[in-house]
Amino acid sequence: DAGVTQSPTHLIKTRGQQVTLRCSPKSGHDTVSWYQQALGQGPQFIFQYYEEEERQRGNFPDRFSGHQFPNYSSELNVNALLLGDSALYLCASSLHTGATNEKLFFGSGTQLSVL
Amino acid sequence: QKEVEQDPGPLSVPEGAIVSLNCTYSNSAFQYFMWYRQYSRKGPELLMYTYSSGNKEDGRFTAQVDKSSKYISLFIRDSQPSDSATYLCAIYSASKIIFGSGTRLSIRP
């Protein structure tokens, strides 16, 4: 049973560029959340996708956008990259139950470096 | 004030010691509390999950919630070098998870 898979594992971009990160959820899961983890910090919630729609959003600018596909996989797009966007980007999947305490399973992340 | 505060450490203890990791939180309405373990270059892995107050035990790990003082703890008994990792406390708020900054733990053989 495959867990959450993310690609690529590492990425180097320059300021002003755009980047797309990809995530496949754990088998049987239908909800995908994205988190940003800066060095030495805990993960911060970016947004969550369910039924191909953004359901919740954290305190991130519009430069951060996403998409969920019919097979539940997801993409995170970041435009006009800033040096401060350098971080580990984590995808987490869960099964939507309507409860407020769905358990998240995380991928290993994509390490993004902006030069 | 941050919703979840956690001492970043690092914390270094000898093998076999009892480890105590702690967090405080700000909102008394929080009900679901979690501990995640994160190894280097990996995503967080759910370790313990607690609802409301009290203790929950799983092998060498015990999670404790004290709602009166808004304090959550994770105890590790008979610590092993393989327990060396960053431990993140987390709470559920409005259907999303809010993490502490993590405590880096090192177990010396």
B16-25 pLDDT per residue, tens: 999 999 999 9
Unique residue bearing structure tokens 């998409």: A67
CB of A26 within 8 A of CB of A105? yes
End-to-end CA distance of chain A: 37
B39 close contact with A: CB closer than 8 A = no
Q: What is the pLDDT of residue A76?
A: 98
Q: How confident is the model at residue B41 (pLDDT cuts 50, 70, 90)?
A: confident
Question: Which residue of chain B has the CA closest to A33?
Answer: B96
Confirm if A15 and A28 have CB atoms less than 8 A apart.
no
Report pLDDT digits (tens) over A9-32.
999 999 999 999 999 999 999 999
CB atoms within 10 A of CB A106: 24
* Between residues B94 and B15, the one the model is more confident about: B15
- Residue from B95, B98, B103 whose CB has the most chain A CBs within 10 Å, to mutate: B95
CA–CA separation, A11 and B68 (whole Å): 45
In this structure, are residues B105 and B37 in contact, taking their beta carbons and an 8 Å threshold? no
State the pLDDT at residue B94. 75
**pLDDT beyond 80 at A101:** no
* Residue B8 with chain A: CB contacts under 8 Å: 40
